[in-house]
Amino acid sequence: MADVVLDEVYKIYDNGFEAVSGLSLDVADGEFLVLVGPSGCGKSTALRMVAGLEDITQGELRIGGVRMNETPSRDRDIAMVFQSYALYPHMTVARNLGFGLELRGHDAGEIEQRVEQASQMLELTQFMDRLPKQLSGGQRQRVALGRALVRHPQVFLLDEPLSNLDAKLRASTRAEIARLHRTLGTTMIYVTHDQVEAMTLGQRIVVLDKGVIQQIDAPMHIYERPVNLFVAGFLGNPAMNFFRGRLSQADGLVLEGDGAQLRLPALTTKGVQVGQEIVAGVRPEDLHLVEGSGAAGGLSGTVELLESVGSEAFIHATSGRWKLIARASPYNLPAVGARITLQPAPERIHFFDAQTGKRLEQ
């Protein structure tokens, strides 16, 4: 096992495109770190630089305290799991698992022992004589994990390994990866655009946008205190509701904008001033349906759409030109077209500067 340090790392391509900008990360020995962000944010490029599949334009990469910028990929003692599985189609599962060890000159007895351990850990024993084409997507992904596992590397790198699986298989394989990390205690760096994977797997999350780190923290800390509008809007499904407007003094503090009003309790408005243009953010689970329209401090709106997903429902509504989504019980829902009032939980309102997008301290 080893720690991984990226110190002011840049990746600039020949055409001048800057895919990664000043990336600084310190991944602790044995940590499970997740890089998350939208397509094109630089997360896979960063992982490929750690793997040695992309050259580092500027900055330094250290694994286990040793500079690795010029070290070939095969000599970095890392194992990578790809989105595409990358299995040898003409080899059995057993041969796929052990082939990398054969190429590195390990003796037959050691290879057999490592392959057996990996197959038992990943419940692949019954598939050892099958070819990849005879396996399901989830089974193939477990073989890909096993091929990395037998290497006993210092660091595991996983590049969107679950994106080709259906929802049920993603959930079960996600649990398998989490169990493997708990068992092995090996340093893992995992790349995904799926926020559920990020929130459930990562001990820490790195949120990237346009090659720049936006926030690094434990999953729930980021969810509860996003540092800017990008992070607030990216993490959360459905996304956080945003209300842009200007604070006015009228029987307390009121955010006015787009033909609607949101009353803000004094407790939550520390650090913002009357007349200031801000964005207030409220997550769907923090907007509560209350009896009667026009309740004090609530948002009056019209129901536009109802989505019931079994254990919960989502109410889509409009208030002036503000569009909002509230998470609610699936029972006794208002009808489409009905007038409702949604009350934000005062202590759960987030404030952001309308110009910079940065969080306003509360």
In this structure, what token pair is assigned to residue 16? Answer: 């001048």
Domain boundaries, given as residue ranges, for the chain: 4-234, 241-353
* pLDDT at residue 31 tops 50: yes
Which pLDDT score is estimated for 270?
A: 60
Q: State the pLDDT confidence band at 249, using cuts at 50, 70 and 90.
A: low
Query: Taking a C-beta distance cutoff of 8 angstroms, is the pair 9, 56 a contact?
Result: yes
* pLDDT at residue 294 tops 50: no
* pLDDT tens per residue, range 156-165: 999 998 888 7
Q: Which residue has the tokens 């500067």?
A: 353
Average pLDDT for 245-269: 66
Which pLDDT score is estimated for 169?
A: 80
Pairing of strands 299-308, 187-192: unpaired
Q: State the pLDDT confidence band at 297, using cuts at 50, 70 and 90.
A: low
In this structure, what token pair is assigned to residue 132? Answer: 């990849």
* pLDDT at residue 97 tops 90: yes
CATH level 2 (architecture), domain 241-353: Beta Barrel (2.40)
Which pLDDT score is estimated for 299?
A: 84
> Same CATH fold, 241-353 and 4-234?
no
The percent of residues in the chain predicted with pLDDT above 90, rounded, is 59
Task: Report CA 264 to chain centroid distance, whole Å.
Answer: 31
Q: Which residues pair with 60 in a beta bridge?
A: 7
To which H or E segment does residue 215 belong? strand 212-217
Q: pTM for the whole thing? A: 0.89
Report the C-alpha gap between 178 and 190 in whole angstroms. 11
Which pLDDT score is estimated for 60?
A: 98
Query: Taking a C-beta distance cutoff of 8 angstroms, is the pair 6, 61 a contact?
Result: yes
Which pLDDT score is estimated for 254?
A: 73
- Closest by CA to 293, choosing from 301, 282, 285, is 301
* 161 or 56, greater pLDDT: 56
Average pLDDT for 328-355: 90
Which pLDDT score is estimated for 360?
A: 86
Selection from 169-173, 185-189, 294-298 with the highest mean pLDDT: 185-189
* pLDDT at residue 202 tops 70: yes
Q: Which residues pair with 20 in a beta bridge?
A: 11
Average pLDDT score over the chain: 89
* pLDDT tens per residue, range 104-157: 888 899 999 999 988 988 889 999 999 999 998 888 888 988 998 898 899 999
For 4-234, CATH number out of 3.40.50.1110, 3.40.50.11890, 3.40.50.300, 3.40.50.720 equals 3.40.50.300
Q: State the pLDDT confidence band at 253, using cuts at 50, 70 and 90.
A: low
* pLDDT tens per residue, range 79-93: 999 888 788 999 999
**Three-class SS state of 321:** coil
Task: Report CA 96 to chain centroid distance, whole Å.
Answer: 30
Average pLDDT for 263-273: 62
Q: State the pLDDT confidence band at 266, using cuts at 50, 70 and 90.
A: low
* pLDDT tens per residue, range 301-315: 899 999 998 899 999
Q: Is the dihedral of CA 357, 358, 361, 362 positive or negative?
A: positive
